[in-house]
Amino acid sequence: MNKRLRLTLIVIPLFIAACASTEITGKWKDRTYTQSIDKMLVIGMSKDQTRRRIYEDTLVQKLEQKGVTAVSSATLFAADQELSQDVLEPVLERESFDAMLVTRLVDVEKDTRYVPGHVVSSPFYYPPPHDYYYNFYDYHLRTRPIVYSPAYLVDDTIVSLETNVYETRKDTLIWSLTSKSFNPNSANQIIEELSEIITEQLEKDGLI
């Protein structure tokens, strides 16, 4: 196995809010790889063992729904174990994995947006002419409720993730997907969304 692929578990905050969204920002597939993956090892690169396990278990479940035999790395390796070549390679061979899928954190961006204020008025409102005060009824009709929405600032959080699939026999990258999740604040929904996106794209690309 290429030593550059030494996998040291790092922190990956998998969060998302109910109102947030996860979208694909990039995707690549090795066009020369035409086989279907039957058995896959799933690795979530995180020191938070609870989130790592939830992510891996969720993705394993979705892959199995597609007919793939998938295994969480947390069931095969100790929580603090470095997934180096000499640790990982014997397991891949012993368990006869066709591929391994690895998800890692790329970046967490903080951004502040300015949302300008605006005026919302009645559809009957129009600027008064010179006889603006002619009588109360005319005054009331032309100045009925006007609502002003003030400007405000919105703090956005954008979490970028990368998911790679490596073919184990030749130790080569065969598929890669990058994604962004906007305004995250809950772990479980980003896990659900990302797992759904990954399995759907792997199926569309003919890998499962």
pLDDT digits (tens, 9 = 90+) for 94-105: 999 999 999 998
With pLDDT > 90 as the criterion, what percentage of the chain qualifies?
51
64-95 pLDDT, tens digit each: 999 999 999 999 998 888 899 899 999 999 99
Position 109 pLDDT exceeds 90: no
Beta strands in 13-86 (DSSP E): 22-29, 39-44, 69-72
Torsion angle (degrees, nearest 10) of CA 169, 12, 59, 39: 10
pLDDT of residue 103: 96
Tell me which residue of 61, 18, 26, 35 sits closest to 163, measured CA to CA. Answer: 26
Alpha-carbon distance of 14 to 191, in angstroms, equals 7
CB 179, CB 24: distance < 8 Å: yes
In the chain, where are the structural domains located? 3-113+157-204, 117-149
Domain 3-113+157-204 CATH (choose: 3.30.70, 3.40.50, 3.40.1000, 3.10.20): 3.40.50
Q: pLDDT digits over 136-189, tens only? A: 666 665 666 666 677 777 777 888 999 999 999 888 999 999 999 988 667 788
List C-alpha distances in Å: 105 to 14, 158, 172: 9, 11, 21
